[in-house]
């Protein structure tokens, strides 16, 4: 099924178990990154997740597709993208998931009472996933301001997003982050004093290639040490086929850990 206009598409994920309405010409479109981010939530998770910077809702719904007892709040600052998230929840194809999801139009950089008034009270989620804008301002610019807002990180962004995650998570709740490897130092600094038991997973396009993404999972209030796990490798040495592990993650058949 396609929307009434030609500026959006309806895209199937998890082999058709859910669909996402996405902008065709502007704004952010989700793909494999969102599915990998969702895989950081453990199989069988049965609490509330917050999908910070949810866009049209792909990562949050991917968690619900794999974890039938979970619920999700899709948090998006952009009114344009929040509108796509609402249309996503209205799809007939998503009827089995929509009752466990809600869209919250809010800025995750808010603090204190303003954050709570926006619908993000302290200690209210069991897991936070986030795909912050992680392109540097010096990277090749897009002419689309909505896409730039979704892709280009502002100064202090990781500090602000991780501060909010630490506030809205319950004690011992977890945060999962996908970012570029160059952001690792900033992420670790923002986690310091708030989170421990940090696990880092490099994401490599092929076995012989350097990581293009990092996955960081951490536990609120933990003092356990950091661990570096083996990489997630997306493709084989040649060809465009997914490795078995990447294919299972991309289609919601297995969690990352």
Ordered per-residue pLDDT tens for the chain, 257 residues? 444 445 889 999 999 999 999 998 777 788 999 999 999 999 999 999 999 999 999 999 999 999 999 999 999 999 999 999 999 999 999 999 999 999 999 999 999 999 999 999 999 999 999 999 865 555 555 554 555 454 456 778 999 999 999 999 999 999 999 999 999 999 999 999 999 999 999 999 999 999 999 999 999 999 999 999 999 999 999 999 999 999 999 999 999 99
Domain ranges of the chain: 8-250
Domain 8-250 has CATH 3.40.50.150: yes
Instruction: Name the percent of the chain in helix, strand, coil, to the closest 5.
Output: 30, 30, 40
Q: How far apart are CA 43 and CA 9, in angstroms?
A: 29
Return the SS3 of 2: coil
pTM over 0.95: no
Do 163 and 111 form a contact (C-beta atoms < 8 A)?
Answer: yes
């Amino acid at each position: 099924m396609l929307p009434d206009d030609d500026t959006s598409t309806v895209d199937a994920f998890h082999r058709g178990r859910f669909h996402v309405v996405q902008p065709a010409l502007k704004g952010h479109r989700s793909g494999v990154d969102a599915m990998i981010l969702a895989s950081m939530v453990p199989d069988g998770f049965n609490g509330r997740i917050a999908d910070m910077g949810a866009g049209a809702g792909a990562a949050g719904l991917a968690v619900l597709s794999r974890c039938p007892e979970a619920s999700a709040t899709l948090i998006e600052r952009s009114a344009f993208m929040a509108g796509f998230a609402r249309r996503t929840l209205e799809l007939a194809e998503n009827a089995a998931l929509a009752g466990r999801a809600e869209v919250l139009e809010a800025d995750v950089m808010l603090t204190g009472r303003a954050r709570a008034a926006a619908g993000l009270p302290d200690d209210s989620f069991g897991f936070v996933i986030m795909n912050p804008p992680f392109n540097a301002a010096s990277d090749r610019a897009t002419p689309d301001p909505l896409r730039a807002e979704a892709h280009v990180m502002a100064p202090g962004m990781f500090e602000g997003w991780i501060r909010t995650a630490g506030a809205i998570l319950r004690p011992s709740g977890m945060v999962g982050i996908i970012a570029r490897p160059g952001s690792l130092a900033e992420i670790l600094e923002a986690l310091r004093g708030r989170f421990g038991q940090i696990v880092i997973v490099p994401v490599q396009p092929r076995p012989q290639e350097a990581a293009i993404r990092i996955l960081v999972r951490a536990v609120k209030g933990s003092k356990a040490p950091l661990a570096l796990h083996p990489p997630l490798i997306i493709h084989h040495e040649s060809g465009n086929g997914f490795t078995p592990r990447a294919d299972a993650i991309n289609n919601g058949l297995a969690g990352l850990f």
